[in-house]
Structure 1
């Protein structure tokens, strides 16, 4: 078996689930033709979208005349490119520094594998994933578009190429970061940090009409190429050239750095004693830095959505917004609909933090920390249970801080009844969802650690149902199976809390089952 095949086999779930999700999103083009069956309805929706600063911030600028294909590239294109960038960060770290840090590449190096061979294999995998994404998106649009207005062969190819080049660019940035960063975790953090900067640059370019900034952001490539509008294929060349330069730099750095370390020295080791009391205290102390970062990040996202919600709410009150945002606002009170939508976005981000926090237990087991802790006489179920408890407490802290901040800021921008109380409730109400995500991840890592990557499946499925369920015409009974959108409107007449109690109870039972499973298996074994 070659090294490339081995890396593909080890990361087969990551390399399969993410592309299928992105390709599936590309099958939604025909729904835009069905949502706006007449030219007048489409014209109204396009005008509302072009005048809404919130929509521009999230998706970019919608070009005229707003054909179904253009609206697809505007809305779904934003989701697909962002998710492709997230996949790029996770995949690039998984096939480079993560494989190096867990010791598997060290064994292969002992068998005569050359210094740069692992990096070449990783680059081969990333290039293959980009080709798969490009081909898959193009085929999905071609097969499902039907007679949708504005669809063309060149536009389809350009849209798919934008997804592939975006993936490649973010992958190249992350691969270079993996050669410089002192650990895989730090490389992953830098990759997501670069992604956040890219989104901010793209948002500034579109909201402030500074178009040239889109040329320096991977997420701005869609606005530069303009698939289904201009199909500017020459705009792909700077991105491909950037990828080439970054890859050359990564190879030069990889040839000169020490194996298992980056160019920057680790600074997380200290000579002083770490005073902790029990397993929960140890896990809380280890999780404190990431908790601070995620609290600031989620609070910033909540504040951003609070500041840009007034335009969408007012437009929904005056007329039908339609499309993705219209589906999220619903048919009731637009203010409540927008706050529920913002709560869903916050819940998705917090769920990512929850799953990553539980996955840290697997990393601690792989690095030997769990074995050292168990050598002190700690019960075998305690590390897993403590990790889940700290993750749940961390989610509560993040949601509480975000809820309080948004409750103060939202009434400044949004008019309506009980805006502050609703804003706080829609944020805090995401905790049972996070608890259920923690339970699913704990069960997999505790009982079946080889399937730990499947911990992301409930989040992906629930997010798709919550964000695109109405737009795709998914029946309500199927949407209700998702973990999100169960928070009741505290100012409404009907305020059912049963689904939230079920989510919290399910999360608790799954944590107990996962902790029991961890006590009945060997370390680093399924």
Structure 2
């Protein structure tokens, strides 16, 4: 009898093909499309030398990207875009690893497979093989995309490009297998996902500490430090990638060993039995608010801390921009506006992206509740068909506003202490709170998709991904301003100017309201989705 793992691998890849294609395509396009931009951004040796000296003495840049190894465009590409690519690969790894392992146990898929005669260990073995296959595709795709610039960008070579792709793919593999290990410990898929992201945040802090404090060996202990250990285009240390692959294999073996010592659907750490405080809930809106509150609180803390940290590290970039010495990715973000307004606008965009991620996850809960049967319980009380989605939209919009207010208020207190300029506090507050119309627009789109196509939740992420790419990479890639203006981000005006333009914000808010109304109308005219 043939082993079931190959068929299970094909099943996993087919089941998650939409998510895998989107993430892999994003990484390949990000790395391939931005490589040549570094040749044109720093056209002369003097520009490269000045940019390198500034970057090497700027603590904020070192925290964000690491240590810049050389003056060639290839080095600058690995320094900036390499940092983004490895972080995105880590996020992709956490999401994918949990989806292929513990999420399948929680939703009953693995139990169904085991009931059909599949050996108990086979689903985990197949998930590990599928993750390794995805890592290989990411490595080859990113490496080939960068290698296409060989001969057109100084410092880019085929061996270095393939090693860069290997670093990105192996970062995915390490993070994924580490997440699979903690997934055996966590009691639920949600807990596994939270632990995975916590470990990824810890890896970023460890990598930042290694670079700021000049302790290179710490990079070997961080999954996000692999790029610095491999050093593409600057030494090409392939042995570091091989060691990382061996460590990943060890983590895979450890996950299998731990899986044999826990019960199906449970983790090695038992789910805590907490007695929720009694509260009188008099409406469906109150119930939704209670269900969203814990998630909203976690996202508020995370986004507020992240946004304030970026604001606090921005003084060096602002001073470089004032001396007209800021290039590369940050140079395109600050633009030709007042440096303070430009940098705070960039941080505001990052805050908006995080807030939109929270909002979409909250809206998508409506479709998950439908397929899990929880919506039927609510409707059995006499609730109207459209009400659960309407409640979720209202509560998510309010929670997003609170998140942005907290982030903006914290930034307004901290930023003036580290950054000189006019109206810094007011600008910091407005750069966060002014993103609410963009968040509303995405909430409206998410409500429309959930109301009309509950099984196509991936569509809700399309505007967020495209808008993020246009705003963050449009300037670096030379995309026209009119096309960049199609993004939902980047429309918050500078409140320090005499006549700030708020028309785009009003339009975004109107789009959000219209989308939410259409979603509520559509959900009332279709059947309840079922598993």
TM-score, normalised with respect to structure 1: 0.97
Structure 1 position 272, deviation (Å): 6.2
In the alignment, structure 1 residue 47 sits paired with structure 2 residue 53: yes
Q: Kindly report which structure 2 residues correspond to 1:15-94, keeping only aligned pairs within 5 A, or say none.
A: 15-27=20-32, 28-64=34-70, 66-94=71-99
Contact 1:54 1:311 in 2 (8 A): yes
Q: Kindly report which structure 2 residues correspond to 1:397-408, keeping only aligned pairs within 5 A, or say none.
A: 397-408=402-413
Q: Kindly report which structure 2 residues correspond to 1:65-214, keeping only aligned pairs within 5 A, or say none.
A: 66-214=71-219
Deviates more, 1:255-264 or 1:90-99: 255-264
Cα distance change on mapping 1:522 and 1:5 into 2, 3 Å: farther
In the alignment, structure 1 residue 515 sits paired with structure 2 residue 515: no
Structure 1 position 36, deviation (Å): 1.4
Cα distance change on mapping 1:469 and 1:271 into 2, 3 Å: closer
2:504 aligned to 499, 504, 509, which one? 499
Contact 1:283 1:390 in 2 (8 A): yes
Structure 1 position 6, deviation (Å): 2.4
In the alignment, structure 1 residue 375 sits paired with structure 2 residue 369: no
Distance 1:148 1:85 in 2: 27
Contact 2:372 2:530 in 1 (8 A): no
Deviates more, 1:251-260 or 1:206-215: 251-260
Distance 2:265 2:31 in 1: 39
Structure 1 position 435, deviation (Å): 1.1
Contact 1:49 1:321 in 2 (8 A): no
Deviates more, 1:112-121 or 1:363-372: 363-372
In the alignment, structure 1 residue 360 sits paired with structure 2 residue 365: yes
Cα distance change on mapping 1:290 and 1:271 into 2, 3 Å: closer
TM-score, normalised with respect to structure 2: 0.96
The aligned counterpart of 1:455 is 460
Contact 2:144 2:162 in 1 (8 A): no
Structure 1 position 494, deviation (Å): 4.3
Q: Kindly report which structure 2 residues correspond to 1:348-497, keeping only aligned pairs within 5 A, or say none.
A: 348-497=353-502
Deviates more, 1:302-311 or 1:422-431: 302-311
**Unpaired stretches in structure 1, ≥5 consecutive residues:** none
Contact 2:332 2:476 in 1 (8 A): yes
Distance 1:350 1:12 in 2: 26
Contact 1:450 1:525 in 2 (8 A): no
In the alignment, structure 1 residue 282 sits paired with structure 2 residue 287: yes
Structure 1 position 273, deviation (Å): 4.7
Cα distance change on mapping 1:123 and 1:523 into 2, 3 Å: farther
Distance 1:422 1:269 in 2: 43
Q: Which runs of 4+ in 1 moved over 6 A?
A: none
Contact 2:150 2:158 in 1 (8 A): no
Distance 1:55 1:170 in 2: 24
Structure 1 position 397, deviation (Å): 1.0
Q: How many residue pairs are counted as aligned between the two chains?
A: 525
The aligned counterpart of 2:244 is 239
Structure 1 position 497, deviation (Å): 0.9
Distance 2:133 2:506 in 1: 44
Structure 1 position 352, deviation (Å): 1.1
Structure 1 position 268, deviation (Å): 6.2
Structure 1 position 150, deviation (Å): 0.5
